[in-house]
């Protein structure tokens, strides 16, 4: 117990004094998760909009499928991406395996369903009502879409944040396709996995607290957005 | 929508500016300090394109800290980023076969020879050896102290209660364990794996397996280097340390499919060069009081 207490103390000191190893890992994690989230946002928020605003056969089935994929296991995505980017895989020639780019690719795949699905949900919850009203008032389709997007923007941003939250805290993809290379592909989660195994309790706790902080920040911002649309107006 | 997207883009851009290669000058003193602190620890920006060489190593050479010690020396000498990936011998060999790494350092002679004869590896080059130990709780519940490893395993099987934690991960150590079971007269799959709850397949590296054995107060087979590196956190003591079966030879193999044969060869020559051999021989001597690895470049073992 004293051992744990001591380790906790050292961990806090590491955070307060800005331990360079701990913070470079945190920064790298942030960079990788942000890049994946940005790419996934640019790809899948528009996709979610397209799905919502178009009508096609099997739409309900498609949306259901996307929502089912929210819980795709990270190690499954890790395995798929490993087989894709390994030298003997289909895009192995790009030499992505064991680089941050492989992790980014995996995280994009991982959070694609969340961002697409939650974007659709956000637009749906804004309501058929608004769409009908806008149309009834004689607004063209373009104006109607713009109205709905404006109304749903904060809820849509929530979907992006949820994606970021999953990307920053996942370990399966990062360890399988990143390889936990010191100074290159080591992220908060993989560093913790290694550190606990090696009995490096203090630094693991420090990394864990930072990860917890990041994950909680996401929840807090999501909460702020959902209640009162944040303070940026 | 537009504004919130702009805000999030700005936030992301800020994160990039913090550690990107071509970042703009930081706006505030704190930001400047933060950037400086990080660039101190990371020799290169996290995503910069520099020459990289990948070596997959058995966990024992990683967990003892030997690779962490040698890595910067190699990087300085050859001006390259060395990516050290740790995995069991089985996985390291598989990565080599797939062409995902340039060099492997492993410890399973039979599999190394197969790797070379199947055309995946250039040559098996032994560079260091040490010994395996059976470690366990100090009170030695199965009473195997002082036996040779084959006898000890037979007693464990008879006992059926004292816990044994196996690596269970297709590593070199796991391979050694299997060969001892075979030598003791058991079939690994039909006799040992089904023997009962006392036989635990841990499925992780040497360090975590030692931690697991310690938690369960069980026995495990470990290389001496990793055991010594972890000893401070463990109550486990060496129980069996005599027997020819316990020899543990580490080899380095250049992967045939490596995209960088010159540097791969340089790494093999680096590990077997007289000065690095001496450093390997002295590694850990000060901390643990005994030698972790005996250098053996040029010997046929």
pLDDT higher than threshold 90 for residue A129:
no
What per-residue confidence (pLDDT) applies to A229?
Answer: 59
Tokens representing residue B35 in the block: 């950037």
**Which residues on chain A are in Cβ contact (under 8 Å) with B207?**
197-199
CB-facing half-sphere around the CA of A19: CA atoms within 13 A:
17
Check B47 against A23: CB less than 8 A apart.
Answer: no
Is A148 in contact with A167 (CB distance < 8 Å)? no
Asked if B37 is an interface residue toward chain A (Cβ–Cβ < 8 A), one would say: yes
CA distance A88 to chain B (A): 6
Can you give the C-alpha Rg of chain B in angstroms?
23
Q: How close, in Å, is residue A14 to chain B by CA atoms?
A: 13
Using a CB-CB cut-off of 8 Å, the residues of chain B touching A115 are none
Contact B72/A at CB under 8 A = no
- The 10 Å Cβ neighbour count of residue A115 is 28
For B37, which of A18, A92, A154 is closest by C-beta distance? A18
Q: How far is it, in rounded angstroms, from Cα B82 to Cα B69?
A: 12
Contacts of B98 in chain A (CB under 8 A): 86-88
d(CA A175, CA A196): 15
Q: Give the pLDDT of residue B34.
A: 38
CA distance A4 to B173: 31
Which residue matches tokens 């590593």? Answer: B171
Yes or no: say if B190 and B157 are a contact pair by the CB < 8 Å rule. no
- pLDDT, chain B, mean: 86
Rounded to a whole number of angstroms, the distance from the CA of A154 to the nearest CA of chain B is 7
pLDDT score of B30 more than 70: no
Residue of B nearest to A123 (CA): B1
The answer to whether the predicted template modeling score (pTM) of the entire model surpasses 0.80 is yes
Q: Please, which pLDDT band fits residue B85 given cuts at 50, 70 and 90?
A: very high
Answer whether B83 sits within 8 Å of A179, measured CB to CB: yes
Residue window 166-195, chain A: list those with CB within 8 Å of chain B.
Answer: 179-185
SS3 B254: strand
Contacts of A149 in chain B (CB under 8 A): 1
The band of A228, judged by pLDDT with boundaries at 50, 70 and 90, is: low
Collect all residues of chain B within an 8 Å Cβ-Cβ radius of residue A24: 38, 41-42
Closest residue in chain A to residue B8, using alpha carbons only: A157
CA distance B167 to B170: 8
CB contact under 8 A, A181 and B7: no
Query: With an 8 Å Cβ cutoff, are A87 and B42 in contact?
Result: no
d(CA A159, CA A225): 11
pLDDT at A201: 85
The three-state (H, E, C) secondary structure of A85-150, written as one string: HCCCCCCHHHCCCCCHHHHHHHHHHHHHHHHHHHHHHHHHHHCHHHHHHHHHCCCCHHHHHHHHHH
Domains of chain A: 17-226 (1.10.3720.10)
pLDDT digits (tens, 9 = 90+) for A133-148: 887 888 788 888 898 9
Q: Which domains does chain B have, with CATH numbers?
A: 2-41 (no CATH), 131-246 (3.40.190.10)
Per the CB < 8 Å rule, is A180 touching B86?
Answer: yes
Q: Per the CB < 8 Å rule, is B16 touching A31? A: yes
The answer to whether the CB atoms of A198 and B63 lie below 8 A apart is yes
**What is the per-residue DSSP string for A179-209?**
---TTTT--HHHHHHHHHHTT-HHHHHHHHH
A21 part of contact set with chain B, CB < 8 Å:
yes
Pairwise CA distance, residues B190 & A55, whole Å: 58
Largest CA distance in chain B: 75
Q: Dump pLDDT digits (tens) for B169-210.
A: 989 999 999 999 999 999 999 999 999 999 999 998 898 899
* Beta-bridge partner residues of A146: none
User: Nearest to residue B162, comparing CAs of B143, B141, B181, B177?
Assistant: B141
pLDDT tens profile B208-243: 899 999 999 999 999 998 999 888 889 999 999 999
Q: In degrees to the nearest 10, what's the CA dihedral of B61, B62, B64, B69?
A: 100
Pairing of strands B121-136, B294-295: antiparallel
A181 contacts B84? CB cut-off 8 A: yes
Computed over every residue of chain A, the mean pLDDT equals 91
Q: What angle do CA A203, A204, A208 make, to 5 degrees?
A: 115
The whole-number pLDDT of residue A2 equals: 62
Instruction: Say which residues have a Cβ less than 8 Å from residue B188's Cβ, sequence separation at least 6.
Output: B178, B181, B182
Q: What is the mean pLDDT of residues B135-147?
A: 96
Helix (H) or strand (E) holding B128: strand B121-136
Q: Which residue has the higher pLDDT, A227 or A176?
A: A176
Interchain contact, B86 vs A199, CB within 8 Å: no
* Closest chain B CA to residue A195: B208
**A96-116: per-residue pLDDT in tens?**
999 999 999 999 999 999 999
Chain-chain contact of B99 with A24 (C-beta, under 8 angstroms): no
- Residue A18: closest C-alpha in chain B: B37
CB-based contact A31 B42, cutoff 8 Å:
no
Task: Provide the pLDDT for residue A197.
Answer: 74
Nearest Cβ partner for A98 among B47, B100, B204: B100
Give residues with Cβ within 8 angstroms of B32, minimum separation 6: B25, B26
B31-61 confidence digits (pLDDT tens): 443 333 333 334 444 455 578 999 999 998 9
pLDDT at B15: 41
Chain A CB contacts of B82 under 8 Å are: none
Residues B117 and B93: beta-carbon distance below 8 Å: no
What is the rounded distance in angstroms from the CA atom of residue A161 to the CA atom of residue A159? 5
* pLDDT one-digit tens code per residue, A53-92: 999 999 999 999 999 999 999 999 999 999 999 998 999 9
| Residue B49 contacts A where some CB pair is shorter than 8 Å | no
Q: Does B259 touch chain A (CB under 8 A)?
A: yes
- Say how many CB pairs under 8 Å bridge A and B: 104
Mind listing the pLDDT tens digit for each residue in B230-277? 888 899 999 999 999 999 999 999 999 999 999 999 999 999 999 999
Q: Note the pLDDT of residue B281.
A: 96
Alpha-carbon distance of B115 to B112, in angstroms, equals 5
Q: What is the pLDDT of residue A143?
A: 87
Segment A23-62, tens digit of pLDDT: 999 999 999 999 999 999 999 999 999 999 999 999 999 9
């Amino acid at each position: 117990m004293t051992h744990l207490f001591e380790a906790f103390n050292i961990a806090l000191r590491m955070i307060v004094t800005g331990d360079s190893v701990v913070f470079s890992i945190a920064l790298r994690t942030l960079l990788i998760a942000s890049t994946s989230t940005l790419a996934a946002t640019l790809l899948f928020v528009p996709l979610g909009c397209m799905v919502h605003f178009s009508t096609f056969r099997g739409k309900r089935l498609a949306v259901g499928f996307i929502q089912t994929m929210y819980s795709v296991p990270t190690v499954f995505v890790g395995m798929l991406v490993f087989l894709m980017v390994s030298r003997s895989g289909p895009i192995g020639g790009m030499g992505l395996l064991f680089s941050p780019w492989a992790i980014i690719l995996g995280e994009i795949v991982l959070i694609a369903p969340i961002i697409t699905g939650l974007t659709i949900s956000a637009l749906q919850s804004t309501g058929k009502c608004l769409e009908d009203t806008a149309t009834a008032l004689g607004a063209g389709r373009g104006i109607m879409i713009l109205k709905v997007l404006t109304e749903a923007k904060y809820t849509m941003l929530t979907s992006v944040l949820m994606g970021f939250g999953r990307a920053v805290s996942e370990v399966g993809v990062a360890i399988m396709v990143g390889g936990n290379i010191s100074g290159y592909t080591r992220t908060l989660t993989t560093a913790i996995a290694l550190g606990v195994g090696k009995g490096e309790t203090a630094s693991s706790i420090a990394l864990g607290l930072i990860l917890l902080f990041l994950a909680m920040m996401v929840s807090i911002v999501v909460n702020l957005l959902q209640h009162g649309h944040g303070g940026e107006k | 929508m537009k504004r919130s997207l702009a805000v999030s883009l700005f936030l992301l851009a800020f994160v990039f500016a913090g550690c990107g290669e071509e970042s703009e000058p930081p706006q505030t003193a704190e930001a400047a300090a933060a950037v400086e602190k990080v660039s101190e620890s990371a020799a290169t920006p996290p995503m910069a394109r520099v020459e990289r060489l990948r070596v997959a190593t058995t966990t024992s050479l990683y967990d003892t800290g030997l690779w962490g010690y040698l890595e910067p020396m190699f990087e300085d000498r050859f001006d390259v980023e060395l990516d050290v990936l740790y995995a069991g011998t089985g996985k390291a060999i598989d990565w080599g076969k797939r062409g995902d790494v340039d060099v492997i350092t492993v410890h399973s002679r039979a599999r190394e020879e197969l790797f070379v004869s199947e055309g995946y590896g250039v040559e098996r080059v032994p560079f260091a050896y040490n010994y395996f130990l059976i470690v366990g709780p100090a009170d030695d519940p199965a009473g195997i102290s002082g036996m040779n490893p084959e006898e000890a395993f037979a007693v464990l099987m008879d006992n059926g209660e004292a816990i044994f934690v196996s690596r269970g991960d297709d590593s070199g150590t796991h391979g050694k364990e299997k060969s001892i079971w075979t030598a003791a007269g058991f079939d690994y799959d039909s006799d040992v794996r089904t023997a009962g709850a006392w036989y635990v397949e841990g499925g992780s590296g040497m360090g975590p397996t030692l931690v697991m054995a310690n938690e369960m107060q069980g026995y495990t087979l470990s290389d001496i280097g990793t055991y010594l590196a972890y000893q401070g956190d463990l109550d486990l003591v060496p129980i069996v340390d005599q027997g020819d079966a316990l020899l543990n030879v580490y080899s380095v193999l250049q992967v045939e499919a490596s995209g960088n044969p010159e540097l791969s060869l340089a790494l093999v020559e680096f590990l077997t060069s007289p000065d690095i051999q001496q450093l390997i021989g002295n590694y850990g001597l000060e901390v643990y009081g005994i030698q972790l690895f005996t250098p053996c470049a040029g010997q046929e073992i």
